[in-house]
Amino acid sequence: MRLRNVKGSREMIAANDYVIHEETTKKGCWRAVFGNDNPIYIEIGMGKGQFLTTLAMEHPDINYVGIEKYSSVLIRAIEKQEELKLPNLVFIRMEAEYITDVFAPGEVGEIYLNFSDPWPKDRHAKRRLTSKEFLHRYEQILVPEGKVIFKTDNRELFDFSVEQVPEAGWQMISCTYDLHEHGNPEGNVMTEYETKFVAEGNPICRLVITPAETAKQ
């Protein structure tokens, strides 16, 4: 994502009610954050938040947490939420590597990864959000039947991700190399990047995976 230094964004985020501060204190207490027992789904690397905001509007009975490391893009999602005031959507500005400090085992129902940074150099493979190192983190916070749903137009990153699934001891639920082959499939919510890449004619890949023990049940 191209970054602009949005002036004052850090200060605005620090004072915003839709941003969770001191997020590690919420571990194991997320039901109290939302004030209900609804499932919690998260998006890691949400950017400006079009995807998660749309889902939160469509599914008021699911709670959504958007995670983004850069203030300059997160601020766009916050501005939108300031208008919409959806009760089931909050944000955290953080680096995803520390996700297990923020959610307890079984606290997260689904994890969305959309157009994640490719980290093309081999020596940076562990930083890819679909690496086995990240999958091991995700299995520590997901419910037993939990899923990771990943979309990208980057074929190298997608092929790497497909390989990581058995390496991490996970199972493939579904895998497509051209999600939009017959138009936008029903129920697919487009992200900012997806809208742009589909318009450019790039095929979008998507996989849905689950920790192996779940798939065996």
Q: Is 161 exposed, middle or buried (0-12, 13-18, 19+ CB in 10 A)?
A: buried
Tokens matching residue 160: 């790497």
- 70 touches ligand SAH (CB under 6 A): yes
The nearer residue to ligand SAH, 13 or 46, going by C-beta atoms, is 46
Q: State in angstroms the smallest separation of the CB of 193 from ligand SAH.
A: 4
Q: Cβ distance 173 to 215 under 8 Å? A: yes
CA distance 110 to 112: 7
CA distance 202 to 214: 33
- 66 touches ligand SAH (CB under 6 A): no
Q: Which of 23, 26, 192, 207 binds ligand SAH (CB under 6 A)?
A: 192
CA distance 40 to 42: 7
Q: State in angstroms the smallest separation of the CB of 214 from ligand SAH.
A: 24
CA angle (84, 80, 87) in 5-degree steps = 40
Q: Which of residues 83-102 bind ligand SAH (CB under 6 A)?
A: 95-96
- 208 touches ligand SAH (CB under 6 A): no
- 65 touches ligand SAH (CB under 6 A): no
Q: Catalytic residue positions?
A: 117
List contacts with ligand SAH (CB under 6 A): 1, 44-47, 67-70, 73, 95-96, 114-117, 191-194
